[in-house]
Amino acid sequence: MKKITIAIDGFSSTGKSTLAKQLAKHLGYIYVDTGAMYRAIALFAMQNNFISIDSLDKESLVKALPNIKLQFHFNADLGYAEMYLNDSYVEKEIRTIEVSSFVSRIAEISEVRSKLVEQQQEMGKNKGIVMDGRDIGTVVFKDAELKIFMTSSPETRAQRRFEELKAKGDVVSFEEVLQNVQERDYIDTHRADSPLVMADDAIEIDNSYLTREEQFAAVLELSEELINSL
Ligand code: DC
């Protein structure tokens, strides 16, 4: 059976990773969460005091990039891979609101983007991959057979993220989460290098009023049609 490349892009907290994981599991494909890679670099910058609320030592971070090792290790219990930064398990640490508040500024740095894009292209060179992010269909895999662009209102997305954080025990307010979602949308869509835009050949899915099941069924059907037509 021939394999395809599936690119899933869109705004934060649109449920990209949930859909991508489900799809990869069903098709027996590799799933890659590229946001985790940007988050791991943001964590590294925090750990080394390269970033704070009002400063960013871009030069030191860029100089340190060759020493940053990012790896995904498959967790058989969960059914997907988890993020390791320089051999340390960081899956939990990269999901905090603090990392979320710094990561868009890290993702603006061209040197960071080119390092990660190269690694992502290497991971997908044999196809059979579902990758989610912001620039997968426009930069990383311009030739992906299937490109999905996911949207939903900022309030719906903030509510989802707020519930996720609360379930993990993080103390945050809904307003704080909404503000973070809106700030990230702004930075992600306005940065000079690889801004978040929908690829011309992407299919847009606004999931404000779709259940997870409906959304999964629709994208699975599209994927299977494409795979069967090869
Ligand atoms: O999907 P996420 O929220 O985990 O992504 C974290 C941040 O990383 C997000 O603010 C934008 C950035 N990002 C990016 O610029 N390009 C990608 N391919 C993935 C994420």
Q: Is 38 in the pocket of ligand 1 (CB under 6 A)?
A: yes
Q: Is 10 in the pocket of ligand 1 (CB under 6 A)?
A: no
Cα 228 to middle of ligand 1, angstroms? 31
The number of C-alpha atoms within 13 Å of 195 and in the hemisphere containing its C-beta is 8
Residue-level pLDDT at 218: 94
Residue-level pLDDT at 207: 85
Q: Is residue 36 part of a domain?
A: yes
Residue-level pLDDT at 209: 82
Residue-level pLDDT at 12: 87
136 Cα nearest atom in ligand 1? 18
Q: Is residue 227 part of a domain?
A: no
Structure tokens at 68: 């940053």
Q: Is residue 225 part of a domain?
A: no
- Residue with the smallest CA separation from ligand 1 atom 16 is 134
Residue-level pLDDT at 211: 86
**What are 156-162's contacts with CB under 8 Å, separation 24+?**
156/208, 157/11, 157/12, 157/13, 157/14, 157/181, 158/13, 160/13, 160/15, 161/12, 161/13
Q: Is residue 65 part of a domain?
A: yes
Q: Output the tens digit of pLDDT for each of the chain's 230 residues.
A: 799 999 999 998 898 999 999 999 999 999 999 999 999 999 999 999 999 999 999 999 999 999 999 999 999 998 889 999 999 999 999 999 899 889 999 999 999 999 999 999 999 999 999 999 999 999 999 999 999 999 999 999 999 899 989 998 988 999 999 999 999 899 889 999 999 999 999 999 998 888 889 999 999 999 999 999 98
Q: Is residue 128 part of a domain?
A: yes
Cα 99 to middle of ligand 1, angstroms? 11
Q: Is residue 226 part of a domain?
A: no
- For residue 95, give its domain range: 5-218
How buried is 144 (Cβ within 10 angstroms: 0-12 exposed, 13-18 middle, 19+ buried)?
buried
- Residue with the smallest CA separation from ligand 1 atom 5 is 35
Which residue matches tokens 């030592």? 57
Which residue among 17, 103, 113, 140 is best mutated to probe the pocket of ligand 1, counting the most ligand atoms within 8 A of its Cβ? 103
The CATH number linked to 36 is 3.40.50.300
186: left (phi over 0), alpha (psi -120 to 50) or beta: alpha
36 Cα nearest atom in ligand 1? 4
17 Cα nearest atom in ligand 1? 1
How many domains does one find in the chain? 1
The model scores a pTM over 0.75: yes
Cα 2 to middle of ligand 1, angstroms? 29
